[in-house]
């Protein structure tokens, strides 16, 4: 995976969904060198952009995302599997990650399209290539064996923007803004101050 700092837009599972993911993970068989994502950092990526670490792009991205219609999505995680990197950096090529996949959902595709339009409005380039919705929950997981997955229902009603830093195994996330299906918006103080300067 690339290193550095990014601004990530995604859906983050709630505690109940994370618990179900952890149960499935604990029932699986893993190679010794497997690494597991911290449960609070599990997410389904809808877009991300490179950032210098100075939050240069965050205020205008928050402004654009505030116009994205967020609705409660009744998603179902119904597949767990291993992906092997075929096209990646030399250090990552051939490595494996374990993912959960949601069942096809028109609302999720629509939300992704809205996020893409928000990125364009903010004059930012999405660095995701060939978007396939998934949640990564383990790395270095070649030869992992999974039990049958009981479908995991997930009511996703919050779109989140975080500053994401790669620690060598997983991305660590600092919340910057949340956009809720209720219409509420929660913005971190550092972003709120910069937004006021833009007005």
pLDDT (tens place) for every residue of the chain, 199 residues total: 445 788 999 999 999 999 999 999 999 999 999 999 999 999 999 999 987 666 778 888 999 999 999 999 999 999 999 998 765 444 454 589 999 999 999 999 999 999 999 999 999 989 888 899 999 999 999 999 999 999 999 999 999 999 988 776 667 888 999 999 999 999 998 787 666 555 4
The pLDDT assigned to 90 comes to 44
Assign residue 56 the CATH number of its domain: 3.90.1140.10
| CA dihedral over 20, 23, 29, 31, signed as positive or negative | positive
The pLDDT assigned to 186 comes to 94
Range of the domain at 117: 5-198
What is the rounded CA–CA span in Å between residue 133 and residue 121?
A: 23
What is the rounded CA–CA span in Å between residue 58 and residue 76?
A: 30
Q: Quote the tokens at residue 149.
A: 């997955």
How many domains, in total, are found in the chain?
Answer: 1
In angstroms, how far is the first alpha carbon of the chain from the final one?
A: 36
Q: Quote the tokens at residue 115.
A: 């996020």
Within 13 Å, how many C-alpha atoms sit on residue 85's CB side?
Answer: 18
The residue among 161, 190, 173 whose CA lies nearest residue 66 is 161
What is the rounded CA–CA span in Å between residue 110 and residue 116?
A: 10
Residue tagged 């009744």 (tokens): 74
As a dihedral over the C-alpha atoms of residue 98, residue 37, residue 50, residue 3, rounded to 10 degrees, the angle is: -90
CB 154 within 8 A of CB 78: no
For residue 180, CA distances in Å to 69, 72, 96, 154 come to 9, 9, 33, 15
């Amino acid at each position: 995976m690339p290193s550095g700092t990014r601004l990530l837009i995604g859906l983050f599972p709630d505690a109940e969904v994370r618990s179900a993911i952890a149960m499935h993970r604990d029932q699986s068989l893993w190679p010794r060198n497997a690494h597991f994502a911290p449960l609070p950092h599990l997410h389904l990526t809808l877009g991300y952009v490179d950032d210098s670490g100075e939050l240069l792009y965050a205020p205008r991205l928050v402004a654009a995302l505030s116009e994205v219609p967020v609705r409660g999505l009744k998603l179902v995680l119904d597949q767990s599997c291993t992906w092997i990197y075929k096209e990646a950096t030399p250090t990552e090529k051939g490595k494996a990650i374990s993912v959960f996949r949601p069942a096809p959902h028109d609302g999720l595709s629509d939300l992704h399209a809205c996020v893409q339009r928000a990125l364009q409005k903010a004059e930012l380039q999405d660095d995701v290539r060939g978007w396939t919705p998934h949640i990564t929950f383990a790395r270095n997981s070649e030869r992992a064996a999974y039990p049958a997955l009981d479908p995991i229902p997930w009511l996703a009603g919050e779109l989140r923007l975080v500053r994401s830093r790669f620690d060598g195994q997983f991305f660590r996330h600092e919340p910057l803004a949340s956009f809720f299906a209720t219409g509420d918006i929660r913005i971190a103080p550092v972003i709120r101050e910069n937004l006021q300067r833009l007005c």
